[in-house]
Amino acid sequence: MSEVFAFDETDRKIVEYLRHNGRATNQQIAETLSLIASTVSTRIRRMEDAGMLRVVAVSDFAVHGYHVLIHLAVEVSGRPALDVAEELAAHREVFAAHLVTGRYEISLLLTLRDMDELSPLITDKLAKVPGVRAMTPAIGLDIVKYGLDTAPIDSRRLS
């Protein structure tokens, strides 16, 4: 990160617009916010350069044939949790991997095409990662919230 700055109200409005339409042009954003396109472009570039903004595409799991979401709590023994998490995260079925506090050291989100993939994934792949002591799967029954637009933006100075 090359720059330290605080988000102002204009930055917040630009980010909010991009959250709703990540394909918007600088001109479209500028017209909506009563700015000029070069201002929008400069601010977006500044936020990206500082590592404070990244515009990405998100696709629907089900559209690609993934109909099962599993939360997997992983207990670790004899090896640093970070090393185990990184090795587990390398599997294509792992959508997200987090180090957590509590009984388990690692929390994984897995995406599978169907339930028949669960047993071989756990027994043939994940359980064989050195340091995995125990795993507790929980099947996602329904998605109540799936929001990628919830990251807070505040006025604290960020470095």
Convert the pLDDT of each residue in 80-139 to its tens digit.
999 999 999 999 999 899 999 999 999 999 989 899 999 999 999 999 999 999 999 998
Determine the Cα–Cα distance for residues 99 and 108; give it in Å rounded to an integer.
Answer: 9
Determine the Cα–Cα distance for residues 38 and 94; give it in Å rounded to an integer.
Answer: 40
Q: Is the pLDDT confidence value at 7 over 70?
A: yes
pLDDT band at 153; cut points 50, 70, 90:
low
pLDDT of residue 10: 92
What domains are there in the chain, each with its CATH number? 9-49 (1.10.10.10), 62-139 (3.30.70.920)
pLDDT of residue 154: 55
pLDDT of residue 116: 93
Strand partners, 132: 76
pLDDT of residue 38: 95
Query: For residue 10, what are the CA distances in angstroms to 14, 21, 24, 125?
Result: 6, 16, 16, 48
Residue pair 80/87 in contact (Cβ under 8 Å)? The answer is: no
Query: For residue 126, what are the CA distances in angstroms to 1, 49, 70, 79?
Result: 35, 37, 13, 15
Residue pair 122/135 in contact (Cβ under 8 Å)? The answer is: yes
pLDDT in tens, 34-88: 999 999 999 999 999 988 888 877 767 777 777 788 999 999 999 999 999 999 9
Q: Find, among 106, 102, 104, 101, the residue nearest to 83 by Cα.
A: 106
Determine the Cα–Cα distance for residues 14 and 32; give it in Å rounded to an integer.
Answer: 10
pLDDT of residue 140: 84
Tracing tokens 């294509």 back to the chain, one arrives at 92
Determine the Cα–Cα distance for residues 110 and 113; give it in Å rounded to an integer.
Answer: 10
Residue pair 98/50 in contact (Cβ under 8 Å)? The answer is: no
pLDDT of residue 39: 94
pLDDT of residue 26: 94
pLDDT of residue 155: 47
pLDDT of residue 156: 44
pLDDT of residue 2: 47
pLDDT in tens, 17-35: 998 888 899 999 999 999 9
